[in-house]
Structure formats: C-alpha cells, structure tokens
Amino acid sequence: MQEQAAVTYVMPVLNEADHLEEAVRAILDQRYSGASELVLALGPSTDDTDAVADRLAAEDARVRLVRVPEANIPLGLNLAIAAARHDVIVRVDAHSTLPPDYTATMVAALERTSAAVVGGLMDAQGKTPFGEAVARAYKSPFGLGGGAHHDSDVEGPAESAYLGVFRRGVLEEFGGYDETLRRCEDWELASRLRTSGRLVWLVPSVKVVYYPRETVDKLWSQMFATGVWRGELVRRQGTTPLRYLAPPILVCALALSPVAALGLARRPAGVVRAGLACVASAPVVYAVGLAAASSRLGGASWGDHARNVVAMAVTHVSWGAGFVRGFVRGAEGILDRSRVTQPSR
C-alpha cells in the first residue's frame, strides 16, 4: 500500500476558547496514516484561547504554535504555512469540526484530480434556536446566495473551495493569501488560481461542521464586515458574480423606498410611475419574500419561522450595507469584531 502524504494543518485562531479543543481533537483523531502536524496561528485573543492552545500543544507534540501580532486571518495562515514541515497544506478553522475521513478523502482527491485546491461542503449547525436559523439560512440560496460549497451535490470544478487542501508549492507560487484582505481571502485566492487556469475542485460528499454566529449582533457584525470586504474586492477586481449584487441592490431599494413613495404622490406618468412604484413597494415585497423563503428553510414552529426571517434579513441587510460601504469608500479600518470578548477575570 502506498504511504499517504504527510500533511500540515494550518489554523488561524482568535477568541476561540469555547471551540478550539473540539476543532483540534477532530484534527488529531483523523483516520489518516500519513505523518501530520497542526500549526495554530494565534492572534491577539482576549479570552482564554492562548491557555487552551498552550495546553493542547503540551499534550501532543503534533501541535505547534506561532504568534500572529494582529487580528489578520491571511497573515496568520501565511505564517502557519511558512512554519509548515510538510508538502500538503490542509487549511482548517477553529469554528469547524472535520469529519474523521476528511484528510484521507481530500488528499486522495488532490492527487486524483491534479487540482490546485480541493474542498468540501460547509455543514452549518447551530447550537441555539437562533443559531439553528442562521444555519438553515447558510444552507439555502435565500440566505447566502447558493454558493456551491453550501449545498451542491455535484463533484467537479467550482468557483471557490471551503477551507481547502493544497500542495504547498502552489501556495508558494501564488504568494499565499492576500494579507491586505481581512475577509474573502479564500475566494480571492481561488479566483487567482482559476484565472491562471488552475483547477478548484469541490468534493460534496465531504461535509465539515461549521458553527455560525449565535446572536443577532454577532451575525450583523460578521456579515457587515464580510460585505465591506467583498465590496473592496470588487473595487480591486472590477468584476463579481451577479449573485453578490442582490444584497446591495436590496439595501438601496429599501433606503430609497420612502423617497419613491413621495415621488408617487406627485402623480408622475408612464415609465417613471412604474419605476417609482417598484422601489416604493420594496419593503412589502421583501417582507413577503422573506415569509415565503422561511417556509422553504423549514422549522417546526412559528418561533422557528420568525427566527428564519430575522436571520435572513440581518444577513441580507448587513451584508448589502457593508458591500455598498466597501465599494464606495473601501474597507480600511473595518474588522469583524463578532468574536471579540472581554478578557477573563
């Protein structure tokens, strides 16, 4: 039997004291015979993350630590990759839990397809009633827009890869992750790979559990920052998949609806009246659309459907408002602070 390739897992970590051990155990317990190590890139956490990481490293020599001077995921990833000892790089996340055969399946797919990067599906799972609603939205095209790594069942070329397994040489050739981006770094790297003619490959049979934000304020903060950086990325690249334009168009329509209603009061005719009527009706149309979409997301009670509506509305409006801000003014100074916690006492 051919020996399996040695792998280095790289994980950026910030304020993950509650999730880190579960994520690390799932990595260390992989059913994989090749040599492995895990490099934790520790950002400036304000909770007990560093203490948890120190303990895990003391308990298992496969766990190594690198310090990251700022809350910058791409920087953390690049520092971890630079410290890696092995040829295959497995990008992992402290808010996710790998299934036991993840590494074996993904390394086999990397070798079988000659892809630059392979990834599986994000299987969002909530731990609270609102978190469950957010998870349902993640898996639906009505929530995050239907990216293939959320709900596809077709293996093959993809736009982007969730997390991702790479050959180290590919990352070095392309300069790693863009450290000027604070969000969207995975998509941007995949975009560079695809533009160069390299293959990005989806393996939908592999599902990685991901725990989304569990409160309205944290979801808003995350999605606003993500939208800002997506808008910044569109400024830089000058192009975007059309589905990313839906939230900013929605936000603009909602913001302009009172003005359009006032315009209708002046009784314009023809095309102008039709256009104003469309914009003025945006809040009502959107509310009806949310209710209809909630029935597709599922839920066992009226409370579940109410939470579905809130989760989708927060996602759409915060992401769309962020996109407009990022596209118009850039993303400088905008960070996702949804994982910032008060220091332990």
pTM here is: 0.90
SS (H, E, C) 119-163: EEEEEECCCCHHHHHHHHHHCCCCCCCCCHHHHCCCCEECCCCEE
Q: Name which of 20, 16, 37, 19 is nearest 28 in CA terms.
A: 37
Positions of CATH 3.90.550.10 in the chain: 7-213
Distance, CA of 191 to CA of 185 (rounded, Å): 10
Distance, CA of 67 to CA of 145 (rounded, Å): 35
% of the chain beyond a pLDDT of 90 = 75
pLDDT band at 345 (very low <50, low <70, confident <90, very high): very low
pLDDT(344) > 70: no
Could you give the C-alpha distances from 180 to 4, 83, 232, in angstroms and in order? Answer: 35, 20, 11
CATH number, domain 7-213, options 3.60.15.10, 3.40.50.970, 3.90.550.10, 3.90.1150.10: 3.90.550.10
For residue 41, give the 3-state DSSP assignment: strand
pLDDT band at 340 (very low <50, low <70, confident <90, very high): low
pLDDT(343) > 60: no
The pLDDT value recorded for residue 298 is 83
Give 238's contacts (C-beta < 8 A, 6+ positions apart): none
| CA end-to-end span of the chain | 53
Q: Name which of 345, 321, 343 is nearest 334 in CA terms.
A: 321
- What tens digit of pLDDT does each residue of 131-190 get? 999 999 988 888 876 666 777 778 899 988 899 999 999 999 999 999 999 999 999 999
Distance, CA of 263 to CA of 190 (rounded, Å): 45
Q: Across the chain, what does the average pLDDT equal?
A: 91
- What tens digit of pLDDT does each residue of 42-98 get? 999 999 999 999 999 999 999 999 999 998 999 999 999 999 999 999 999 998 899
For residue 200, give the 3-state DSSP assignment: strand
Distance, CA of 289 to CA of 306 (rounded, Å): 13
Poorest-confidence range of 240-249, 316-325, 330-339? 330-339
Q: Outline where the chain has alpha helix (H).
A: 20-28, 49-59, 73-83, 102-113, 129-138, 148-151, 168-173, 185-195, 216-237, 246-264, 270-280, 282-297, 302-329
Distance, CA of 251 to CA of 264 (rounded, Å): 20
Distance, CA of 8 to CA of 81 (rounded, Å): 8
